Structure 1
């Protein structure tokens, strides 16, 4: 058996992925914890990047996987049909906002985005897509043309072929005097679209507007409800389809089944993945039956999408989320964690803005003397957290936002424990930053 430590040294794994933080050799995972090859136990506040919402190896999910493997491992759905995919579609319909009731299953978030964009262009017969700065929609070439969270993802890749346009995402700013919060952001995004339509692209050539209802990779930015609602109005006005990328926000992460519910805005098409199957590769492009029926038969297909084992895991995942009240738990403990983080902000000058919706929490790390983003400091804090036994992750354009996304079955005791370790790590970093004074 190859030693973990030698895999990277021998060049067996591509460096573009193998060095991602924390690159921790792990032998097992259970519940809220990873068990390292170093013999240590690590509290996981990443959930496999918001994927294992039910925690690691939930027994009901594992049982569903084992039972399915005893009967059928592979489809493909284009040739045969099977119970787990049919049951999953029914279960998803019950938790998605109406009229989103028809599914094309894939394997990854990027595939769900590709399907959403293909569907929108096919139905509208329009060429262009509008996305938002800071958004992350995947690294396949079509999805990459919409991704702007970091320019390095697009470097040396002529993506988009001038088929996409980007607008500013709502930023965290104070409302100017004389405006209500809702009035300001509604007018703000209306002006952004007006400039776009007047100077760059006619609205009757735009197939879809795509956005993350909460930025993920872009720094856990939570937009005003009025901003999203105005985008919905603009799309309706011009016959433009609205796509929500709920790959990271879905399946209870924001304190509701989907962020669309929390903001009271229903898209025409939704891309879902990550938390859908507790760690198994599965995704879906979702729309109404009326919209899906306009997609020419055979113009989109898959070999592995909607795999029977992944679908069985997803069915069990949805059952666990409902039966154990994990969606409501995310809302309650998310509010609790946000208050704790606000207290930490008051204590630590290196913490800038903190924000959260459900168990999707962002902590900005800044240079206290300038207020500028401090990605280098963030990495030092994350390393200290790792040494103490808790894993956080990073986000933001400059890697300046700590991303906190624990499993949705986390309890208050473990939340407090993880945040206490974060507090210790930041305190140690601040002492080093100030020269120990």
Structure 2
């Protein structure tokens, strides 16, 4: 049965005539009215279980009462007085909390921005200034954001770059260790690690001198590429390469931070300590904030106004972020992410045995990808299946999306209960059955564009 969404459709049509198409990746005509925990309600009153968390930005759930209370109290005292010229206590309190939870026993400093994108831009500036080197290494299929520096680091989608050049110079890309779609058939994790390490060494020997590289930007799980989980052996080898050549190891945690993987930060799953941690999205439970915590000496070599914003680290966002850290710790949301994530991963692997179009199920904690394929041998991406299944799940009361053309994105708020997850998985299974039986019409592809 189709959803009854007259007001949603009316507002979507109005929006289409007003906003830039460059800022939209539509899945279905959903106009969100309110949210609570892991539930979203549209303007027509339909309820949905949320498996997207507003693109991973609300790990504490929608409108968590402690977050809302912190925001309300702060707005009654001070909304903004720019920390560029003055000081305010919520920023100092947040900085200490971030120092406490980020890996590394070294002395730390922090700078703030408005999102993960500008946090990545600032990290490029900091790395080049601190090391006196200009070259930066990122990865094929990486996504770091939409500002010019972050865009230059990214290599996941041609429309992101087409017509926008020139981008920042001296940024070079290398293969990310994908153990599902391997460079050559028959490769195991060790083979993939060896191959990808060899590509770095080849780069250093041919066209990018290692002594000229300032930093390597690494996603501990490559998010928008389809939630690719690297071998631990590769991450350790990358850390060793950085140590050998005095290159900064940057852990880009915009999508995987703040409990998403069952740890404060995704890099902690690999027993490696980075030099720099880049944060955004879930840091303030939906309020606009980005931050970078790094070894103190890296920030002590540049000076104002090299990287500052009037509203960066504003009191309201800092108060929300402080409450976010407290909620994740006090309510054991990291532990919940581990437990519910393991349950979901097991259930989805059971479905993989049943449905031939599921090529791979992977993830850590509540960062899970279900890779849909046309053929398990060729691993050709099945974008049509992903689009139809997401649309059908929405019709059943579930917010499910996909990226990398074929990978279902399962990243719910960390407050999701086992009952909610079981209901969500049942809806996904029903959508799989509907796709397999061929009852989802091709017409939905006109609506679902995806990422």
TM-score by length of 1: 0.94
1:329 aligns with 336
C-alpha change, 1:323 and 1:230, in structure 2 (3 Å) is same
Contact 2:179 2:192 in 1 (8 A): no
1:246 aligns with 253
- Which residues of 2 match residues 243-322 of structure 1 at below 5 A? 243-322=250-329
Contact 1:359 1:405 in 2 (8 A): yes
Gapped regions of structure 2 (runs ≥ 5): 1-6, 442-451
Pick from 394, 419, 423: which aligns with 2:425? 419
Gapped regions of structure 1 (runs ≥ 5): none
Q: Distance in 1 between matches of 2:18 and 2:46?
A: 26
Contact 1:251 1:275 in 2 (8 A): yes
C-alpha change, 1:108 and 1:202, in structure 2 (3 Å) is same
2:386 aligns with 378
Q: Distance in 1 between matches of 2:153 and 2:107?
A: 23
Pick from 91, 96, 112: which aligns with 1:85? 91
Deviations 1:4-60 (A, max 9, x none): 244234x21112224522341121111111111222101111011111001000000
Q: Distance in 2 between matches of 1:59 and 1:25?
A: 23
Pick from 64, 71, 74: which aligns with 1:68? 74
More displaced 10-residue stretch of structure 1: 215-224 or 24-33: 24-33
Deviations 1:157-216 (A, max 9, x none): 22435411111000124899999844x344323211111011111111111111111011
Is residue 26 from structure 1 mapped to residue 32 from structure 2 by the alignment? yes
Deviations 1:347-401 (A, max 9, x none): 11111111010100000111148641011211000000000000111111xx100
C-alpha change, 1:434 and 1:27, in structure 2 (3 Å) is closer
Is residue 153 from structure 1 mapped to residue 156 from structure 2 by the alignment? no
Deviations 1:118-159 (A, max 9, x none): 100011111111111111011111111110111221111224
- Which residues of 2 match residues 331-370 of structure 1 at below 5 A? 331-368=338-375
Is residue 387 from structure 1 mapped to residue 401 from structure 2 by the alignment? no
- Which residues of 2 match residues 168-247 of structure 1 at below 5 A? 168-173=175-180, 181-182=189-190, 184-247=191-254
1:125 aligns with 132
Q: Distance in 2 between matches of 1:23 and 1:273?
A: 27
Pick from 92, 98, 109: which aligns with 1:102? 109
Q: Distance in 1 between matches of 2:93 and 2:440?
A: 58
Is residue 46 from structure 1 mapped to residue 47 from structure 2 by the alignment? no
Contact 2:177 2:193 in 1 (8 A): no
The alignment partner of 1:103 has SS state of strand
C-alpha change, 1:342 and 1:251, in structure 2 (3 Å) is same
Deviations 1:254-273 (A, max 9, x none): 11000121111111112101
2:144 aligns with 137
Q: Distance in 2 between matches of 1:108 and 1:47?
A: 16
More displaced 10-residue stretch of structure 1: 424-433 or 353-362: 424-433
The alignment partner of 2:77 has SS state of coil
TM-score by length of 2: 0.91
Q: Distance in 2 between matches of 1:221 and 1:75?
A: 41
More displaced 10-residue stretch of structure 1: 217-226 or 258-267: 258-267
Deviations 1:277-326 (A, max 9, x none): 11000010110112211223432211111011000000111110000000
Contact 1:144 1:159 in 2 (8 A): no
The alignment partner of 2:214 has SS state of strand
- TM-align CA RMSD: 2.2
